[in-house]
Structure 1
Amino acid sequence: MSLAISSTTALKGVRLSMTRGARGTVASRRVAVRVNAVSADRGSDSKIQVGVRHSMRVTRLRDIVEVSPDLWGPTESSAVPSKKARRGDGLTQATIFKELLLASKHFRLYSQKIHGDGDVYGVRFLMGSPRMEGLDDVFRVTRCVAERDEGLMNLVPDSSGMMVAEIMFPLAMPLDNTIEDLSSLVRAIETQIIEESTVCLMEKGSDDRSVFHGERRLNKYFTGMYARAPDLLHRGTCTSSSPTPGALEASKEMLHRLWEGEESADVVLIDEVRARVEELFCGGNGRAVVHPSGTDAETMPLLQAVLASRALARRVPELDRPVDFRDGAQRGNVISLVACAGEVGSGTTEAAEGRFFSKAVPLGGNRVDMGQELPALHDLAAMESVELVARGGDTDVGRGKADYDAIVEAKAREALASDPAAVVVLHTVAGSKTGLVMPSPAVADTLVAEFGERVVSVLDACQMRHHPNLIPRWLNDQGPILMTSSKFFGGPSFGSAVFFPHRAVETMNDQLGEESPATVAAIAEACASYLTHHDIGDVLPKLHDAMPPGFCNSGVLLRWAAGLHEMETLNDATEANGGIANTEKHVRAWVHAMREEAQKFSPHLEYVPAVDYEGDWQLGGVNTIIAVRLRSGPDEDFFSTADLKKVYALMTADLTEFISPESTMAERRVASQKCLTGQPVDIPGGSVLRTVLGAAQLKDLVSGKQPLDQMIEDDRVLLSKLALIARQYDYLLSHSL
């Protein structure tokens, strides 16, 4: 974004006009400038009266740090302004500009420097909105805004050696109305600061999958927090997404509310997110705990199992338990069965047994070791996770193992028989990375009916590619649900929640009440790397009260605001265009058309047949994930996962300059299209890449914004580029791209 300074020739010279952003009017309300007279031509006694707060927030990291404007040096030179400067534009403009900055919450650390013989005045400042987590964030925002508008402002070292932004006055163009035009300038800069601050904060509060690099600030999935580029063909909502422009605006709006509400806003806004997501999905049957990602959301069902097992341990005779549990400690014993292992979120196995699954945690800034135990939790219960791979050999590779239900049930019975206080966390996956639903719901029905509270029956619905009836039904019949705003719905990665049935919430609160304060504090310590007390809210009051005090996870709040925008606008489009039945018709139309298209690019692409499920397990009753294998030629092996990771990266770039010189004009047009697919998945028979239907696409179909034939034409380009890369793979890798 630029400041959009446009100049038009007028009788009085060049007029400065600033494009105001979506929040321009809000920003203007914060600039309380009252002017009696400004122009030196109106007399040397003119005064500028500016309403300025007595202090400004510089940074917030679990506390508020404030600095008084009185500490800011008005000048770095004792030189007396010349008569021309006293009367002319330079001093007047610099003074007005600085006072306008003082009235804004988006600028920091001001100074004024006289240049040359006193005719030029530089105002130096840093930029960064409230809730920045440190000066590094402020420096980042300052650099980004200054570099984008290098013609207007420059980065210069101040007396302490740090780089600050500087604008020189008088400006290059004369001003018709000094106050009005400089106010417009400040609002235009504020618009950029707000965007950069929003992006900066949205990157916070996640794990090492959310490490962003380069000018475009992309992570390893080639997504970030800036609005997705309009020339990007986005078909990767099974992996990761950048926000749509509308979603980013929703995040900015949420951030404004966070600023305006001060500390009380943390409670109000997270509670609002919880209420909105419950209203959209739960049907009155459950409550939500907000989480940074679907992987760390495993902590909540694990906690339910730990509490249930410890409650059993207090009732079961110690001599009936295995020897390792006859120490009087009444430790729990939890076994998590990870279904569709390898086709659910990376790190699920570690998270399901109470271990860190990345080297960075969302809260606290701690660096941890992969697989390291969460603090204190393992003193309360033994934990184990068992990976259960769903797919078999090379035959019938599109489907899971025929005896998978029997395998899962046998493992569950074995675990439950090993200890009368053991509790099994049973995962049923409502759509793996390739769309599998396994094990069948009959397994959960059987085990819950027989073992009751000893089975925590979890639905992994993180892909969110199901009929709306599934979540309220599962909450009514089974147990907790893992969900995300950042897969099908295309919210920025990552945002998640755990839905608990009301009966589970009641039971967990009773069990927390039976535990000692020290035990509740230990549980809170184990959760504190992922959750704030705001995320828990009034769902689990005792745990909420034991969590460390502080602000909410701003990154989660802003990412959820973007995700909710996509959820609610799709819901609105569905209601306005024939309801869910009509939406499902559009889903089926796209899926069937894409399956047909994917089979037209043989031998370089091989479509892997998908599995469709009856009932409410899939939206439209079809798998919205199209999986394909790639190879260079008919007699070549299919590409490995490592190869497909390179293809995934190549798809995001304009390859026009790098494809073979013999390529046709049609191939060059295809090569120029930037595409985002789903990441590779390693399955028997050869790894696959995925292209999928996401909420933004579906909304376009439902609303009529883009007809199906036009959308399929876009998708045909994506498939053509995959085939082109497969054909020219070796040639492309011979270049340094």
Structure 2
Amino acid sequence: MFAAHLTRELAGVLERPDLRVIADGRRIRLDPALAAPFRVGPQSGVTPGEVTLGAPSLAGPAQAAIILRHALELARLLPLAPAEPVLAGLCAARVAALFRGLDGPAGGAMPDLPWLDAMAAEQPPDAACLAALWPCLAPLQPAVSAAGPDGFAAPAARLAALWPLLGPAEALMAEGGDARLAVDPATGLNHYGCSHRPRPWAVTFASSTASSLSERGFAGAEAARLRLVGGALTGGGTAGDGAAVRAGMVADLRRRIGRHYRLAAGESVVLAPSGTDCELHALALAALAPGGRAVSNILLAPEETGSGVPLAARGCHFAHDTALGAAVPKGGLIDGFARETLLLSVPLRGPDGALRPEDAVDADCAALVRQAVAAGRHVLLHRLDLSKTGLLAPGMAMLDGLARGGPDGRAPDVVVDACQARLDPERVRAYLDRGWMVMVTGSKFFTGPPFCGALLLPAGVAARLEGGMLPAGLAAYSHRSEWPDAPGTAHLAAGENVGLMLRWHAALAEMAALHAIPRPVVRARLARFLDAVEGAIDASGDLRRLSGPAPARAPLADAWDDRATILSFFVRDPMADDGADGGRFVPLGLEDARALYRWLNADLSRLLSAPADRALGGVLCHVGQPVPLPHPSRPGMAGALRLSAGARLVSGEPSHDGLVPDRRMDREIGDARLVLDKIGLILRHWAILRAADPVQTYAPVRAMDGGMGPSR
């Protein structure tokens, strides 16, 4: 990638994983005699496609990163819009300006880049402002003629239309969900402790909650973003620039998800930002069942699903705003949903946290269905596949019996909550063949970014949209393009959720990588990892693994999904009195478990004195968020952490290229043991860490100080 010797500091910027993916092998060289921040070809002395960095790129890593991101964006946009060089230059500057904000407050004033503030503003600059800025941007690209305010009237109008679509992929992916996706510039992480940028130096086993993107996923999102911007640049100069391209991208997403799960004719995909949105959509479709009866919605272990699911399951707003940015009253009934909807639930655990017998769970579900049908209600019954701690219920035999219906032939709707996606696509196909809806995400097992969900519709349910209308209030949650093209969706607004689109493209890159691995290899790699890590957890006196049955599934050749891939465990409370004989295990309470979860993902090295402790404390470890569960030795709720095997464990991190499979799996097992070792380190230094309460960061602290991420 590099065409000349560079300073060590600049070389570090060029090796950042996000910039390395975007560069994609492009030739980059340094010319200290160049006064401009950079130049891209073709122009005098610059090879087409080449980026030449100038003297301003030596001013420090913060400025160098912005300059390189700007140069790479411009080098990619100019060929996409050869007839629009001015507009391409302005769009590239906008992306670079927003990129600066993602890197945090480091860097201070940058007189070499005087256009940054104007191009980072919420409102686009007018023609006069662009005319004043252009002399700073023009030297960066081939000569174009655009003089005076009047010469920028057309570019200003086009830029204003494109403004909402412009930004780095990692910024756009934080939109179209909710506040939990917002990145804290001080830490580089969102609410889930993960990033939309690659983070290969971190040990990541958090797929039960959310994962940072790999280089593969980031490249998938970047490719989609370029397609979106390229379509907008060539969109004909109207406010609807690129609308056809965006609509085509959404349709293609739905087709690709459908192909992954082998959807048949008449079946369909509904895109949704989250599993909670999927719940809302499933209820809306259940209400369209023949007969127009009020719905009884039966959830399994709502405490082990998303926190907003119980509200969505009643047709209520589950947050204060929607993924499309509409302000809504949390808990209020959504327009068009029936107030008569009943929410019923069946627990999977007893008051002491122990699992209930499977036949008791099945009996409770069947009794609730019979009571609802006897009361003249329609039933939406959930099958949980799997819960946050890997539970599968209710049983298939009971569900198949209910699906045959009672004496009047009425059968419940069944929706499978497979949002963890820890099942073979053949299982999803079998659910659809039964006429059941299936919720999936690309953000759990597949390790795509958080907030990319989909509801898979069997033909019989999809057909309801031909004669029935979705609730009017869903217009605040969905665009028409995310649903099947049917009369029942016609009242939804046109448009696209760009953030959702890019997140799904990132997830699909991971899904494709896993799909390419033969099932016996998937099974063998998961078994090797899980055997080793289960043994390490069980050997630790600080941990207690939650036992539970393996997922009970129908026989499938070389099945990998008949084994638990979420390893849940309690952590010993270092401040509790374990008794003189040490025989009593007291787990961390929920809030302390949440603190431990954060500290694992933080650089602790500056808080510790011993060299070995500092080295281990500096390793960033991301695991699944604690699940609140009762425990007989703990008043109130304990918190169970989760270490999960995700798709990337099988298909490989792109940053692991060059390692043979056995060596790579050894490294993954070693990384999991590092997580357990760091838990022990935190327990030994609990008082110090509780007083300091260190924050999670995108990269180790020394790298955050320098404005770049380290290699690992």
Q: For the superposition of Structure 1 and Structure 2, which TM-score range results when normalised by the shorter chain? A: 0.7 to 0.9
What does residue 368 of structure 1 align with?
Answer: 328
- Which has the higher mean CA deviation after the structures are superposed, 556-565 or 254-263? 254-263
SS at match of 2:343: strand
Note if 1:208 corresponds to 2:179: yes
Q: Which residue of 1 aligns with 2:156?
A: none
Pairwise CA distance, 1:128: 4.4
The answer to whether 1:425 aligns with 2:380 is: yes
The aligned amino acid for 2:177 is S
Counterpart residue identity of residue 676, structure 1 = H
Alignment of 1:334-413 (within 5 A): 334-363=295-324, 365-378=325-338, 382-394=340-352, 397=354, 403-413=360-370
**CA shift digits 1:525-580 (9 cap, x unpaired):** 22112210000132xx112322123x2111111111111111011112x1xxxx21
Report the counterpart of residue 601 of structure 1 in structure 2.
540
Letter in 1 for 2:519: I
Aligned with residue 595 of structure 2, among 633, 646, 656: 646
Q: Which amino acid aligns with 1:721?
A: K
Aligned to 1:684: 630
Q: Deviations over 1:217-236 (max 9, x none)?
A: 422211232x1322111110
For residues 238 and 630 of structure 1, the distance between their equivalents in structure 2, rounded to whole angstroms, comes to: 18
Asked whether the equivalents of residues 610 and 626 of structure 1 are also in contact (C-alpha less than 8 Å), the reply is no
Bigger CA drift: 288-297 or 207-216?
Answer: 207-216
- Pairwise mapping of residues 296-695 of structure 1 onto structure 2 (< 5 A)? 296-308=277-289, 311-313=290-292, 332-363=293-324, 365-378=325-338, 382-394=340-352, 397=354, 403-419=360-376, 422-451=377-406, 453-506=410-463, 508-512=464-468, 520=469, 523-538=470-485, 541-549=486-494, 551-572=495-516, 574=517, 579-602=518-541, 604-615=542-553, 619-633=560-574, 634-635=578-579, 637-659=586-608, 661=609, 664-685=610-631, 686-695=638-647
Q: For 1:455 and 1:266, how far apart are their aligned partners in 2?
A: 37
Cα offset, 1:502, TM superposition: 1.4
Compute the TM-score of the two structures, normalised by the length of structure 2.
0.74
Do residues 219 (structure 1) and 190 (structure 2) align?
Answer: yes
Task: Confirm or deny: 8 A CA contact 1:250 1:561 kept in the other structure.
Answer: yes
Give the TM-score, by structure 1 length.
Answer: 0.72
Structure richer in strand, relative to its length:
1
Native 8 Å contact 1:399 1:436 kept in 2: no
Aligned counterparts of 1:581 and 1:700: Cα–Cα separation in 2: 16
Q: Is the 8 A contact 2:519 2:560 kept in 1?
A: no
Change (3 A) 1:657 1:15: closer
Structure 2 partner of 1:248: 218
Q: Render the CA deviation track for 1:305-356: whole Å, top value 9, x for unaligned.
A: 2111xx324xxxxxxxxxxxxxxxxxx3101111022111111111111011
Shift of the 460–264 alpha-carbon distance from structure 1 to 2, 3 Å rule, reads: same
Structure 1: where are the runs of 5+ without partners? 33-50, 53-99, 108-125, 130-138, 184-189, 314-331, 513-519
**Contact 2:278–2:455 (CA under 8 A) maintained in structure 1:** yes
Mark the CA change 1:101 to 1:300 in structure 2 (over 3 Å): closer, same or farther: same
Residue type of the partner of 1:668? R
SS of match in other structure, 2:389: coil
2:189 partner SS? coil
Contact 2:297-2:380 at 8 Å conserved across structures: yes
Q: Residue 678 of structure 1 contacts residue 689 of structure 1 at CA under 8 Å; is this kept in 2?
A: yes
Note closer, same or farther for the CA distance 1:601–1:151 as it changes in structure 2 (3 Å cut): farther
CA contact (8 A) 1:524 1:547 kept: no
Post-superposition offset of 1:14 = 12
Cα 1:510–1:367 shift into 2, 3 Å: closer
Q: Which secondary structure state, in structure 1, belongs to the residue aligned with residue 380 of structure 2?
A: strand
Residue 78 of structure 2 corresponds to residue 28 of structure 1: yes
Out of 349-358 and 605-614, give the one that drifted further: 605-614
SS for the counterpart of 1:411 is helix
Q: Percent identity between the aligned chains?
A: 23
| 1:528 aligned partner, one-letter code | A
> Residues of 1 paired with 2:660 and 2:613: CA distance?
32
What SS does the aligned partner of 1:434 have? coil
Cα distance in 1 for residues equivalent to 2:660 and 2:256: 23
CA RMSD of aligned residues (A): 3.7
Aligned length: 584
- Once residues 12 and 427 of structure 1 are traced to their aligned partners in structure 2, the CA distance between those partners, rounded to angstroms, is 64
In structure 1, the residue matched to 2:706 is none
Cα distance in 1 for residues equivalent to 2:691 and 2:530: 36
- Superposed CA deviations along residues 490-539 of structure 1, whole A, max 9, x for unmatched, are 11111011111112222x13542xxxxxxx3xx3522112210000132x
Unmatched segments (≥5 aa) in structure 2: 1-12, 40-51, 54-67, 146-158, 232-241, 580-584, 632-637, 654-658, 695-712
Residues 202 and 377 (structure 1), Cα distance of their counterparts in 2 relative to 1, 3 Å cut:
same
Amino acid of the structure 2 residue aligned with 1:302? L
Q: Secondary structure at the match of 2:490?
A: helix
Deviation digits for residues 661-718 of structure 1 (CA, Å, limit 9, x no counterpart): 4xx4433322111011000112232431001011112112997285322211111000
> Residues 369 and 283 from structure 1, CA distance in 2 versus in 1: closer, same or farther, beyond 3 angstroms?
closer
Letter in 2 for 1:270: V
Query: Does residue 1:259 correspond to 2:259, yes or no?
Result: no
Contact kept in structure 1, 2:336 and 2:471, CA below 8 Å:
no
Give the number of the structure with larger relative contact order, counting CA–CA contacts within 8 Å between residues 6 or more apart: 2
CA 1:555–1:696: 2 relative to 1, 3 Å: same
One-letter code aligned to 1:198: A
Instruction: Give the Cα separation in 2 of the matches to 1:389 and 1:731.
Output: 39
Corresponding residue to 1:288 among 250, 269, 280:
269
| Cα distance between partner residues in 2 of 1:530 and 1:497 | 13
Cα 1:453–1:241, aligned 2, differ >3 Å: closer, same or farther? farther
Distance 1:346 1:273, change over 3 A: same
Contact 1:484 1:495 survives alignment (8 Å): yes
- Segment drifting more, 485-494 vs 248-257: 248-257
Distance 1:167 1:22, change over 3 A: closer
**8 A Cα contact 2:384 2:393, kept in partner:** yes
Distance 1:524 1:239 in 2: 30
Partners of 1:13 and 1:543 in 2: CA distance = 56
**In 2: Cα distance, 1:687 partner to 1:350 partner:** 23
Deviations 1:403-461 (A, max 9, x none): 11111111121111112xx1111000111000000111222111111245540111110
- Structure-2 separation of matches of 1:161 and 1:504: 42
Q: Counterparts of 1:534 and 1:367 in 2: how far apart (Å)? A: 22
* Distance of 2:570 and 2:269 partners within structure 1: 38
Distance in 1 (alpha carbons) for counterparts of 2:440 and 2:179: 20
Question: Which amino acid counterpart does residue 522 of structure 2 have in structure 1?
Answer: T
Match of residue 127, structure 1, among 75, 94, 104:
94
2: distance between equivalents of 1:348 and 1:14?
50
Q: Whole-Å Cα distance in 2 between the matches of residues 178 and 301 of structure 1? A: 52
User: What letter is aligned with 1:252?
Assistant: E
Residue 711 in 1 paired to residue 679 in 2? no
Relative to structure 1, the CA distance from residue 253 to residue 400 in structure 2 (aligned partners, 3 Å threshold; closer, same or farther) is farther
Match of 2:198 in 1: 228
Query: Does structure 1 conserve the Cα–Cα contact (< 8 Å) formed by 2:115 and 2:133?
Result: no
- Report the Cα distance in structure 2 between the residues aligned to 1:203 and 1:587, rounded to whole angstroms: 31
